[in-house]
């Protein structure tokens, strides 16, 4: 089968097309024929070596497709079911073996491209909005990179429960995308004073929670956008990893909370996984969640997809379609 394989860490060029033996499922696994594989920042972190993986490695942590083979002990799904998953490697390929416990059935009303878009980024937005911090009517949130894949879904989920959303993004085109997702205020954070803009929009108080996926360039400013006892959720490194932080900084700036979560810890339990995915599929099928597909490439052009993502050009989901 065709796949993308990396035999060393480095730039996008290490993502090379290869012909590999098709996977065989273990007793607890299914083999999925990939219809759409998601391209995510984690793939770039694994490619560069920021997040360690064993080589040779087939990247890709998310896909939607059809179950072609099931292991002897599998009870969750059957051959022929359309499914999706996140958090299991090897999806930059025509076929991938995945633990059955990690796949969720996709309802007919949701196509595979949308399903792939909702797994990693959608479930991340879901746990950020409803679990890492429990947004509710009257909460205030600042979402950075708000026009991006996770960001735009997060804005919509926050609005869904009645939170006030301040969205930060870099360009005029992206500002419009954040606005159309429902953001109440949009801040062009590369040009404007983000702290002043947040204070102005919140009667000088600051927001309850900041969702920061940009990391190195923004984390300090993000802390200054919080109200007393507010929470900074650092969940990505798009501009580079955040250096070690002195806990006394949290004390001085208002007894703040800081968390650095990852999706795996919010879908480890199958009931939690199916709850998050199920809610997202329902919202998308009902037209209450707009899932924006930005671009897709054939499998062989995975390197191009990584360049696009790392250039900060994304305005929605990036997919590889084998
Ligand atoms: P996005 O579509 O949000 O793309 C990244 C965005 O980050 C860009 O569009 C850009 O938005 C902004 N950005 C700022 N600085 C840079 C830079 N130097 N290089 C590139 N982009 C930059 O990507 P995703 O939605 O796929 O992922 C968003 C973040 O969420 C990533 O950091 C990822 O690691 C993280 N993530 C974390 C998870 C977790 O559980 N912890 C799970 C899934 C994703 P702008 O122009 O508006 O600044």
Any ligand 1 atom below 6 A from CB of 236:
yes
Any ligand 1 atom below 6 A from CB of 237:
yes
Residue 314 banded pLDDT, cuts 50, 70, 90: confident
Residue 108 banded pLDDT, cuts 50, 70, 90: very high
Give residue 225's pLDDT: 98
Give residue 85's pLDDT: 98
Atom 2 of ligand 1: nearest residue by CA position? 148
pLDDT digits 0-9 by tens, 175-187: 999 999 999 999 9
Atom 34 of ligand 1: nearest residue by CA position? 236
Closest CA to 283 of 115, 33, 71: 115
Q: Does 299 have pLDDT greater than 90?
A: yes
Closest CA to 225 of 234, 45, 236: 234
Give residue 315's pLDDT: 86
pLDDT digits 0-9 by tens, 120-169: 999 999 999 999 999 999 999 999 999 999 999 999 999 999 999 999 99
Q: Which pTM was predicted? A: 0.95
Closest ligand 1 atom to residue 127 Cα is 40
Distance from the CA of 148 to the center of ligand 1, in angstroms?
7
Which domains does the chain carry?
2-120+267-321 (3.90.180.10), 137-260 (3.40.50.720)
Contact residues for 313 (Cβ-Cβ < 8 A; gap 6+): none
Closest ligand 1 atom to residue 240 Cα is 18
Any ligand 1 atom below 6 A from CB of 151:
yes
Closest CA to 25 of 127, 110, 103, 108: 103
Any ligand 1 atom below 6 A from CB of 281:
no
Any ligand 1 atom below 6 A from CB of 169:
yes
Beta-carbon count within 10 A of 134 CB: 10
Beta-carbon count within 10 A of 228 CB: 10
Atom 20 of ligand 1: nearest residue by CA position? 312
Token digits of residue 175 = 């500002």
pLDDT digits 0-9 by tens, 22-74: 999 999 999 999 999 999 999 999 999 999 999 999 999 999 999 999 999 99
Any ligand 1 atom below 6 A from CB of 87:
no
Closest ligand 1 atom to residue 145 Cα is 47
Residue 222 banded pLDDT, cuts 50, 70, 90: very high
Give residue 267's pLDDT: 97
Atom 35 of ligand 1: nearest residue by CA position? 236
pLDDT digits 0-9 by tens, 188-220: 999 999 999 999 999 999 999 999 999 999 999
How far, in whole angstroms, is CA 21 from its chain's centroid?
29
The Cα-based distances of 212 to 168, 172, 204, 220, 250 in angstroms read 10, 20, 20, 10, 16
Looking at per-residue pLDDT, the higher value among 314 and 255 belongs to: 255
Any ligand 1 atom below 6 A from CB of 174:
yes
Give residue 310's pLDDT: 95
Chain-wide mean pLDDT for the chain? Answer: 97
Q: What is the mean pLDDT of residues 110-127?
A: 96
Any ligand 1 atom below 6 A from CB of 48:
no
Q: What's the DSSP call for residue 98?
A: E
> Quick check: 291 and 122 in contact, CB under 8 A?
yes
Q: Does 312 have pLDDT greater than 90?
A: no
């Amino acid at each position: 089968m065709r796949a993308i394989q990396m035999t060393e860490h480095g730039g996008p060029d290490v993502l090379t097309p290869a012909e590999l033996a098709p996977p065989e499922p273990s007793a607890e696994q299914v083999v999925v024929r990939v219809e759409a594989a998601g391209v995510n920042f984690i793939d770039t972190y694994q490619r560069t070596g920021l997040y360690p993986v064993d080589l040779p490695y087939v990247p890709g942590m998310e896909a939607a497709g059809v179950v072609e083979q099931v292991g002897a002990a599998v009870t969750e799904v059957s051959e022929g079911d359309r499914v999706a998953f996140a958090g299991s490697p090897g999806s930059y390929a025509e076929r991938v073996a995945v633990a059955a416990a990690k796949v969720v059935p996709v309802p007919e009303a949701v196509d595979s491209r949308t399903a792939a878009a909702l797994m990693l980024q959608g479930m991340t937005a879901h746990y950020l909005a409803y679990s890492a911090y429990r947004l509710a009517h009257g909460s205030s949130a600042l979402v950075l990179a708000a026009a991006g894949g996770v960001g735009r879904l997060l804005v919509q989920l926050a609005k869904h429960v009645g939170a006030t959303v301040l969205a930060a993004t870099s360009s005029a085109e992206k500002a419009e995308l954040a606005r159309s997702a429902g953001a109440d205020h949009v801040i062009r954070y590369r040009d404007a004073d983000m702290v002043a803009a947040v204070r102005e929009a919140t009667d000088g108080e600051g927001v309850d929670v900041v969702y920061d996926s940009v990391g190195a360039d923004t984390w300090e400013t993000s802390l200054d956008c919080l109200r007393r006892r507010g929470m900074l959720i650092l969940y990505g490194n798009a501009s580079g990893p955040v250096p070690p932080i002195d806990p006394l900084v949290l004390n001085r700036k208002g007894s703040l909370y800081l968390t650095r979560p990852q999706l795996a810890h919010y879908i480890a339990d199958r009931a939690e996984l199916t709850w998050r995915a199920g809610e997202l599929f329902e919202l998308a099928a009902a037209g209450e969640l707009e899932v924006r597909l930005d671009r897709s490439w054939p499998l062989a052009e995975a390197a191009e997809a990584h360049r696009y993502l790392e250039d900060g050009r994304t305005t929605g989901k990036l997919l590889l379609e084998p």
